[in-house]
Amino acid sequence: MCRQCNDSAHNPEEQSLLKERRHMLMAGAAMAAAPLLAAASPNAGAAPANAASAAPGGGGSKNAPGSGPGSGPYLARAWGVAGAGSAFAPLQIRRRALQPNDVLLEILYCGVCHSDIHTARDEWHAVMPTTYPSVPGHEVIGRVAAVGSAVSKFKVGDIGGVGCMVNSCLKCEACEGDREQNCAEGATFTYNSPDPTLGGATYGGYSDKMVVPQHFVIRIPPGADLAATAPLLCAGVTTFSPMQHWNLKSGQRVGVIGLGGLGHIAVKLAVARKAEVTVFSTTPGKLADARRLGAKEAVLWSDAEAMKRLARHFDLLISTVPQAYPMQQFINLLKLDATLVNVGAMDNLQGINGMGLVFGRNSVAGSVIGGIAETQEVIDFCTARGIKADIEMIRPDQIDMAYERVMKKDVRYRFVIDMAANKQRNI
Ligand SMILES: [Zn+2]
Ligand SMILES: [Zn+2]
């Protein structure tokens, strides 16, 4: 998950745990401390500090909360879960008053990422425990409804996007190098990150409003298909960034492991770079899709003959599978010196054989989303080429159904929530 962790020989289990903990400290904004912080806060209790019900009166702003755009603070309607086993339900949350560099977005669309499911269900408890209520969503497209006094990047009416981060220190080496996701002080992630302004945890895009510093809002160019562009803000940059860093070139061979939300965009991006793409899927029904998306070849993991034929074949492998699985079978497919980049699994990687790595001088690497400049780059790259996610639109009251279908691999390929849909139906 963290590019900065390159420990040498350790007990692999221990090393993996150390890596997770170090990442949490370096880039994860002390997420494990969130419950402790919450417990130490005078606002501790069932409702966090930024839940509307815990903060009557709107925090002393001149504008009453929810009284139209103004300068906030704002009451927002959100969809969240009260606990790991809860269904999604509407709730009211607070968004902070506009600070000089802040933008208020009226959210139009929000993609459903597998990380949302992991967080809503507290499946990353060991490294990123979920603070409830939890409002996920980090593939956000909205219309700018108000701007702070120092905002120059947007004006009211513009379309903006928010991905996985809403703040970072902007002065450390990583931030100065356009790698806010690796901020030494820990980036503030869009949801389930300690909220430095309101306390509690940040709330994501399953809501109708969001306040975000302009630096962390991506310009969405005119002509973009807004709903189908939303998933590019996480899934797009997550797969684009390793192609940039490992310099995937025209004619090179890239393998995409897993054909889901991330994988299907990875295929489109690699094809646009004129790379030769092979998809590895466990779902026979997806092989034809992979070819339709532009892959030269699509292979079932269980196809022993193909796995043998493709030994030492790839310049780059990108693993988009959202959990660990035995990886050695894919490391065998890397050319000499080539790299397998994990962008999907956040748990302990499995089944990597030391001898299998040394004889090819191969690398197993990790990459997490991308910086703000790189996110803007992937949005511009895709809009200019008409690249967008294959989406299925849902209403906010269908999120539970969508999660169940994602778990059954029954989505082609990203659910996107139409945040206005329930308003129109008065739910
Ligand atoms: Zn995501
Ligand atoms: Zn920083």
**CA of 41 relative to ligand 2 center, distance in Å:** 25
* pLDDT for res 400: 98
Domain boundaries, the chain: 31-231+371-424, 235-366
Contact 243, 269 (CB under 8 A): yes
The architecture of the domain spanning 31-231+371-424 is Alpha-Beta Complex (3.90)
* pLDDT for res 35: 30
Percent of the chain, pLDDT > 70?
83
Nearby residues for ligand 2 (ion, Cβ within 5 Å): 168-169, 172, 175, 183
* pLDDT for res 72: 82
70: confidence class by pLDDT, cuts 50, 70, 90: confident
Mean pLDDT of all residues in 133-145 = 98
**CA of 209 relative to ligand 1 center, distance in Å:** 19
Judged against a pLDDT cut of 70, whether residue 28 lies above it is answered with no
124: confidence class by pLDDT, cuts 50, 70, 90: very high
Which ligand has its closest atom nearest to the C-alpha of 140? 1
Strands 334-342 and 314-319, sheet pairing:
parallel
The contacts of residue 47 (CB under 8 Å, 6+ apart) are 53, 54, 133
**CA of 112 relative to ligand 1 center, distance in Å:** 8
Mean pLDDT of all residues in 415-427 = 79
Give φ, ψ of 340 to 5 degrees: -105, 120
The 10s digit of each residue's pLDDT in 252-305 is: 999 999 999 999 999 999 999 999 999 999 999 999 999 999 999 999 999 999
- Measured CA to CA, the distance from residue 227 to residue 140 in angstroms comes to 9
Per 3-state DSSP, the chain is made up of helix, strand and coil in percentages (nearest 5) of 30, 25, 45
**CA of 233 relative to ligand 2 center, distance in Å:** 20
**CA of 113 relative to ligand 1 center, distance in Å:** 5
> 235-366 domain in CATH 3.40.50.300?
no
Give the start-end residues of each E strand in 70-195. 74-80, 89-95, 102-111, 140-147, 159-162, 165-167, 188-189
* pLDDT for res 421: 87
Which ligand has its closest atom nearest to the C-alpha of 111? 1
* pLDDT for res 3: 35
Judged against a pLDDT cut of 50, whether residue 239 lies above it is answered with yes
pTM of the model: 0.83
Which ligand has its closest atom nearest to the C-alpha of 167? 2
Which ligand has its closest atom nearest to the C-alpha of 406? 1
The 10s digit of each residue's pLDDT in 172-221 is: 999 999 999 999 999 999 999 999 999 999 999 999 999 999 999 999 99
* pLDDT for res 50: 59
Outline where 197-352 has alpha helix (H): 226-229, 235-245, 261-272, 287-292, 304-309, 328-331
Greater confidence, 70 or 314? 314
Nearby residues for ligand 1 (ion, Cβ within 5 Å): 113, 115, 234
* pLDDT for res 141: 98
**CA of 418 relative to ligand 1 center, distance in Å:** 17
**31-231+371-424 and 235-366 share one CATH topology?**
no
Average pLDDT, the chain: 86
427: confidence class by pLDDT, cuts 50, 70, 90: low
Outline where 189-332 has alpha helix (H): 226-229, 235-245, 261-272, 287-292, 304-309, 328-331
Judged against a pLDDT cut of 70, whether residue 2 lies above it is answered with no
**CA of 182 relative to ligand 2 center, distance in Å:** 7
